[in-house]
């Protein structure tokens, strides 16, 4: 059985749980106490040298890190990853976009906001991330004005990856009212994903001392 090394409040891990659920793939979860240093142990670093979750451990013991690489691996041969060369490349375009514009900006701002770290990072770092996050949402808005999903007419791993952090962007001060096509897409993806995938909040272990 697959093993997902995960920290439940992480939306990078959440992406993987959603796709595993949609595909009906059985797996077991191994929680990683990242704030207690469990992701920096030699055992964990052997699975992911970067010391980050999620990590998907295969049945044969091999490991795969980076959430969007894991999504691609799991989606191979399914409708969530098109076989058409161009459409497949468009999915990859959005996966790279997510890790460059969305996760470092919206993901970081959300983490700082929900764990009481925003004030200590106030100023240039917050402003730069907020500008990048707004740029990302505006880019999605432009595309989604004329397309129900990011790549064509059907839900793909591009939508799952982008939805993860952007659907919680209001947690860190962005307004969905500013991006109506994005907001409509958010509702479509939510319906496609369905219930059963809650987003746990950061616990006391994530709060600054």
pLDDT digit string, tens, across residues 104-135: 999 999 999 999 998 887 778 899 999 999 99
Residue 138 lies in a domain: yes
To 10 degrees, the CA torsion angle through 162, 168, 170, 171?
-140
As separate numbers, helices (DSSP H) first and strands (DSSP E) second, the chain gives: 8, 4
At 79, is the secondary structure helix, strand, or coil? coil
| DSSP string computed for 131-200 | HHHHHHHHHHHHHHTS-SSSSTTS--HHHHHHHHHHTTGGGGT--GGG-HHHHHHHHHHHHHH-SS---P
CATH code of the domain containing 13 = 3.40.30.10
CATH code of the domain containing 131 = 1.20.1050.10
pLDDT for position 209: 64
* Structural domains counted in the chain: 2
Asked if 180 and 92 sit in the same domain, the reply is yes
Can you list the residues of the chain whose pLDDT is less than 50?
none
Q: Which domain holds residue 141?
A: 85-193
pLDDT for position 164: 98
Looking at 57, 78, 99, which one is the last position of a domain?
78
pLDDT for position 151: 98
Residue 207 lies in a domain: no
Q: Is the pTM of this model over 0.85?
A: yes
Tell me if 176 sits within 8 A of 106, measured CB to CB: no
pLDDT for position 169: 98
């Amino acid at each position: 059985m697959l093993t997902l090394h995960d920290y439940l409040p992480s939306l990078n891990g959440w992406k993987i749980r959603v796709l595993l659920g949609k595909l009906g793939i059985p797996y077991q979860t191994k929680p990683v106490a990242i704030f207690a240093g469990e992701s920096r142990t030699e055992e964990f670093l052997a699975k992911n040298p970067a010391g980050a979750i999620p990590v998907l451990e295969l049945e044969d013991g091999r490991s795969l890190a980076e959430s969007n690489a894991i999504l691609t691996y799991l989606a191979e041969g399914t409708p969530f990853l098109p076989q058409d060369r161009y459409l497949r490349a468009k999915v990859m375009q959005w996966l790279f976009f997510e890790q460059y514009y969305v996760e470092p900006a919206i993901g970081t701002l959300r983490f700082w906001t929900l764990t009481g770290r925003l004030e200590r990072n106030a100023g240039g770092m917050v402003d730069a991330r907020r500008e990048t996050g707004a740029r990302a949402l505006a880019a999605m808005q432009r595309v989604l004005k004329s397309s129900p999903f990011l790549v064509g007419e059907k839900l793909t791993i591009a939508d799952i990856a982008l939805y993860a952090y952007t659907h919680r962007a209001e947690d860190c001060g962005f307004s969905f009212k500013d991006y109506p096509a994005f907001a409509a897409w958010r509702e479509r993806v939510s319906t496609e994903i369905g219930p059963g995938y809650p987003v746990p909040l950061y616990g006391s272990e994530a709060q600054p001392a």
